[in-house]
């Protein structure tokens, strides 16, 4: 016998079909080592599912103006925001990206912080595992055009793209994978992922931008943010500290 994946998952976990579909859509459900991507996929009744829930949200710093957290992978930034009654998102990270996330505690600070981001007075640093071997620093200066939609995609477009600059520094090599430290001078949608892919080094697990490696997530971590003379650092999760 066969049935749709979300129904089977709901039966196994004794949860509603709606909740089961939500877990699949969020990328939290696996069959063996493969992420289940289609909630309505027809599968055998004896399929064994595994759900990997996000880690808890760790606070990095808090005062009367700002709340800084280490966002776990697979948690949407709006879910983080909803976890705190008195804080508003200042910026965003992709769902699969872990790391430093800033929230404002009052309207005055929110406006100041948004202006700082807009005027490029904020320094943003990331760490990632990428395909291939990187031995030397790279400065990637390629304009980006983003096509918005349910699943936005960005492309290098020198005619209509917006300025985008990414600095990539080698950190460690393991087999045919490299760990790199990254600073972005601009904040375009999927900037790091697109730029690294364009240079032949897509982020590990980033199937959308050409990574051939299966991974539980895109191995990208927002490691540090500097704003208003202060520095906030997010501890690396295990999958970033060491690749496999």
- Once rounded to an integer, what is the mean pLDDT over residues 212-227? 96
* Residue showing tokens 């202006």: 115
Nearest to 189 by CA among 227, 161, 219: 161
CB count within 10 Å of CB 214 equals: 11
For residue 19, what is the domain's CATH number? 3.10.290.10
- Once rounded to an integer, what is the mean pLDDT over residues 3-14? 91
Per the structure, the count of domains in the chain is: 2
Does 100 lie in the same domain as 40? no
Contact call for residues 195 and 138 (beta carbons, < 8 A)? no
- Encoded tokens for 134: 């990187």
Does 79 lie in the same domain as 46? no
Contact call for residues 5 and 41 (beta carbons, < 8 A)? yes
Q: What is the pLDDT of residues 65-119, one digit of tens each?
A: 999 999 999 888 998 998 898 999 999 999 999 999 999 999 999 999 999 999 9
242 pLDDT exceeds 90?
A: no
Does 8 lie in the same domain as 93? no
Q: What is the pLDDT of residue 138?
A: 97
Sign of CA dihedral 79, 82, 87, 90: positive
27: left (phi over 0), alpha (psi -120 to 50) or beta: left
- CA pair distance 204, 132, nearest whole angstrom: 10
Range of the domain at 65: 58-241
Does 69 lie in the same domain as 46? no
Contact call for residues 209 and 194 (beta carbons, < 8 A)? yes
Q: What is the pLDDT of residues 118-166, one digit of tens each?
A: 999 999 999 999 999 999 999 999 999 999 887 889 999 999 999 999 9
Tell me if residue 94 is catalytic.
Answer: yes
Does 78 lie in the same domain as 199? yes
168 pLDDT exceeds 90?
A: yes
Does 29 lie in the same domain as 94? no
> For residue 63, which phi and psi values (nearest 5 degrees)?
-145, -160
For residue 231, what is the domain's CATH number? 3.30.2350.10
215 pLDDT exceeds 80?
A: yes
End of a domain among 51, 68, 83?
A: 51
55 pLDDT exceeds 80?
A: no
CB count within 10 Å of CB 118 equals: 10
Q: Quick one: the chain helix, strand, coil %, rounded to 5?
A: 20, 35, 45
- CA pair distance 162, 188, nearest whole angstrom: 8
Given the residues 63, 94, 181, 206, the one annotated as active site = 94
Give the DSSP H/E element, type plus range, for residue 102. strand 98-104
Does 160 lie in the same domain as 121? yes
Contact call for residues 22 and 9 (beta carbons, < 8 A)? no
Does 156 lie in the same domain as 46? no
Does 91 lie in the same domain as 7? no
Does 88 lie in the same domain as 35? no
Q: What is the pLDDT of residue 53?
A: 74
* Residue showing tokens 């793209």: 161
Does 71 lie in the same domain as 169? yes
Q: What is the pLDDT of residue 32?
A: 84
- Once rounded to an integer, what is the mean pLDDT over residues 213-231? 96
End of a domain among 51, 66, 84?
A: 51
Contact call for residues 30 and 54 (beta carbons, < 8 A)? no
């Amino acid at each position: 016998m066969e049935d749709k994946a979300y129904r089977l998952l709901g039966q196994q976990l004794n949860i509603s079909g709606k909740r089961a579909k939500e877990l699949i859509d969020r990328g939290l459900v696996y069959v063996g080592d493969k992420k289940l991507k289609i909630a309505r996929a027809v599968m055998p009744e004896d399929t064994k599912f595994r759900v990997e829930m996000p880690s808890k949200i760790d606070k990095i710093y808090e005062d009367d103006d700002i709340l800084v957290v280490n966002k776990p992978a697979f948690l949407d930034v709006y879910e983080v925001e909803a976890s705190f009654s008195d804080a508003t998102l200042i910026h965003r990270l992709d769902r699969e990206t872990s790391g430093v996330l800033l929230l404002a505690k009052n309207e005055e600070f929110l406006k100041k912080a948004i202006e700082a981001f807009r005027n490029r007075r904020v320094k943003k640093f990331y760490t990632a595992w990428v395909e291939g071997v990187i031995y030397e620093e790279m400065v990637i200066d390629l304009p980006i055009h983003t096509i918005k939609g349910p699943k936005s995609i960005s492309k290098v477009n020198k005619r209509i793209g917006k300025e985008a600059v990414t600095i990539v520094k080698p950190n460690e090599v393991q087999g045919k994978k490299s760990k790199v430290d990254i600073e972005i001078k601009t904040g375009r949608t999927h900037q790091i992922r697109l730029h690294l892919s364009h240079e032949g080094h897509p982020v590990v697990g980033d199937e959308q931008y050409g990574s051939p490696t299966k991974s539980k997530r895109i191995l990208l971590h927002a490691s540090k943010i500097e704003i208003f003379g202060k520095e906030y650092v997010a501890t690396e999760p295990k999958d970033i500290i060491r690749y496999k």
